[in-house]
Amino acid sequence: MNLRFIVNPISGRRGRSRQVQALLAKFIAAERLDAPVVLTEGPGHATLLARTAVHEGCTRVVAVGGDGTMNEVAQGLVHTPAALALVPTGSGNGLARHLGLPLAPAAALRLAVDPAARITTIDTGLAGPRPFFNVMGLGLDADVSDRFNRQPSRGLPAYLRTALAAFSGRRTESCTIEIGAERVQIDLLWLAVANSDQYGNGAIIAPGAHSADGLLDLLAVQPVGWLGAVNLGARLFLGNLDRSSRVRRWRAPAFVVHRPAPGLIHTDGEPHPAEARVEIKVVPASLRLVACPAPP
């Protein structure tokens, strides 16, 4: 097995990355692994490093970082024989939690390098040309991601503070959603399209969704006031958001969202500018991934 570690040196809470890098160095030495460790240097670099690893014959590429690092490394591995392994060190770690992967770095490292580990295949989502593997969103969802990425602190408390600040300046958009032949006109607070069931930290955006079913789950959240926002926040962590009367949900392989004007979207928590028309679709069984053993 030809291994490579791709590490985001600024992922997670302050100081955590240095601890993880030290643990990684000890682990590689103890296991006597012949596995290079490369550090990312900025946006997009992890994808380039992953593609280079595949070109040089790596059969397993280990992403050490958060959801953004996962996304970039995975982009370089889609439709290749190489398998992605995750050592989640970010603040949300949504895909790792969805798949039941170890969150403790030592346990995640052991699974990542286990030659007998189970390899599964998951879907890729595309929002226009941008891949996502966990969740993409627009409206308030993208605004929160944009603000959070500008914050020096990480973790759930910082994310909740950011979400409250974004909600205070909330704006709604009158959008049209195409689901096959169906066209739905709806006022949106936020829209999320999920390949997994959660954002991360146990915030369940699409209860029952799965990353290997060949489908995406679209949740359209209609405008609410402060009391409604508290209710929706509670439902996120109780796992029943889709039961709210202010939420509509569809499951399909593709959607098209028409907004009044261009604006932000996010893919796995990373914000990007996008056109008013956003085409979203699934690419089934397109990424190989190191998974926990199947239950007996």
Domains located in the chain, CATH noted: 3-116 (3.40.50.10330), 130-284 (2.60.200.40)
Q: Check if the beta carbon of residue 122 is closer than 8 Å to that of residue 287.
A: yes
Question: Strands 190-194 and 216-221: what pairing?
Answer: antiparallel
pLDDT of residue 152: 64
Q: Write the CA distances from 10 to 17, 39, 44, 172, integer angstroms.
A: 6, 10, 14, 34
Query: Are 125 and 281 spatial neighbours (Cβ–Cβ below 8 Å)?
Result: yes
Is 270 among the catalytic positions? yes
Tens-digit pLDDT profile for residues 16-34: 777 888 999 999 999 999 9
Q: How far, in Å, are 11, 48, 117 from residue 88 at the CA level? A: 9, 20, 17
- Give the sign of the dihedral formed by CA 130, CA 133, CA 139, CA 142: negative
Mean pLDDT estimate for the chain = 92
Question: If DSSP codes are grouped into helix, strand and coil, which group holds residue 48?
Answer: helix
Catalytic residue selected from 31, 56, 72, 270: 270
pLDDT category, 213, cuts 50, 70, 90?
Answer: very high
Higher pLDDT, 117 or 168: 117
Instruction: Identify the band that residue 14 occupies on the pLDDT scale cut at 50, 70 and 90.
Output: low
The DSSP output letter for 143 is: H
* Per-residue pLDDT at 84: 98
Which pTM was predicted? Answer: 0.92
Query: Which pair of tokens denotes residue 231?
Result: 């209710």
Report how far apart the first and last C-alpha atoms of the chain are (Å, whole number): 26
pLDDT score of 165:
74
